[in-house]
Amino acid sequence: MRRLRLLLFLALLVSTLTAIAQTEPANPYYSRRNTFGFFAAYSNDSSHMLLGLVEERKLLDLGLSYSRRLWQGRVVNWQYNAELLPVALESDPLVKEVETITSPLPQTFTNIFAPVGACHNASGSYTQTINGTVYSYNYVDTCSRQWTIGEGISPVGLQWNFRPRRKVQPFVTTHGGYMYSTRAIPIEGAGNFNFTFDFGAGLEFYRSKTRSIRAEYRYHHISNHDTAGQNPGIDNGLFQVTYAFGR
């Protein structure tokens, strides 16, 4: 009888251990060691948010991202993050100013330039006396836009995802890098080469353990750090959406 009880106890123990092994929870974290992404970012306007001075500049970026997990705990997932921008478009407002001297001799001059402030359509007339001669002028200012193509890279970046066990994770991020454009931006004389940095926050929505979508808002700054003749700088509020995948 004692032997039978022992056999029943051993059978129950083996059955219990087998059941525990079969129902052991999988990895509870929604995170990846290596993450790749495709993203699009857009800003419809610029203003003096922190450092930049120019207004009405638009940005449109298409790029790739890579993240490497550095440390993970129950509260935060800390990642290195880098971004590559094969397409970095910047749009400046342009003023076409047509000025006509009506007297003493009729002459017409046309200038096209990117203003630091906002662009406004305008017209009017004025007079000016030079060496006793009175000159009369008419002017017409009209606004348009000019897109400039460039490329950039942000090799230095960090991202912190909070609540890594949840499918929806708030995060903060920051990056530093450069941008090269085919013409000087945001005004003539500011140079083709500019430095960039950003910081922001958003939400990452995990569809599975390996795939997610990020939506975020960033403060984004562009300036040449006084390496060119002029350096007004550009501040933008940038909206970015990233499709991310990896393991």
Which three-class secondary structure state does DSSP give residue 76? Answer: strand
Contacts of 11 (CB under 8 A, 6+ apart): none
Higher pLDDT residue, 19 or 219? 219
Q: Examine the pLDDT at 117 and tell me if it is beyond 80.
A: yes
Rg over alpha carbons for the chain, rounded to the nearest Å, is 30
Look at residue 23 in the predicted model and tell me its pLDDT: 47
* Whole-number pLDDT of residue 104: 86
Q: What is residue 110's predicted lDDT score, i.e. its pLDDT? A: 95
In the predicted structure, residue 103 carries a pLDDT above the cut 90: no
H or E element at residue 21? helix 2-22
pTM confidence score? 0.85
Q: Can you give the pLDDT at residue 9?
A: 53
Tens digit of each residue's pLDDT (9 = 90 or more) over 42-97: 999 999 999 999 999 999 999 999 999 999 999 999 999 999 999 999 999 999 99
Q: Is the model's pLDDT at 240 over the cut of 60?
A: yes
Whole-angstrom distance, CA of residue 208 vs CA of residue 30: 8
Residue 6 in this model has a pLDDT that exceeds 80? no
Residues 6+ apart with CB under 8 A from 37: 64, 65, 66, 67, 214, 242, 243, 244, 245
How do residues 124-173 score in pLDDT, each as one tens digit? 999 999 888 999 999 999 999 999 999 999 999 999 999 999 999 999 99
Residue 25, pLDDT score: 52
Reported as a single tens digit per residue, the pLDDT across 179-234 is 999 999 999 999 999 999 999 999 999 999 999 999 999 999 999 999 999 999 99
Give yes or no for residue 18 having a pLDDT over 90.
no
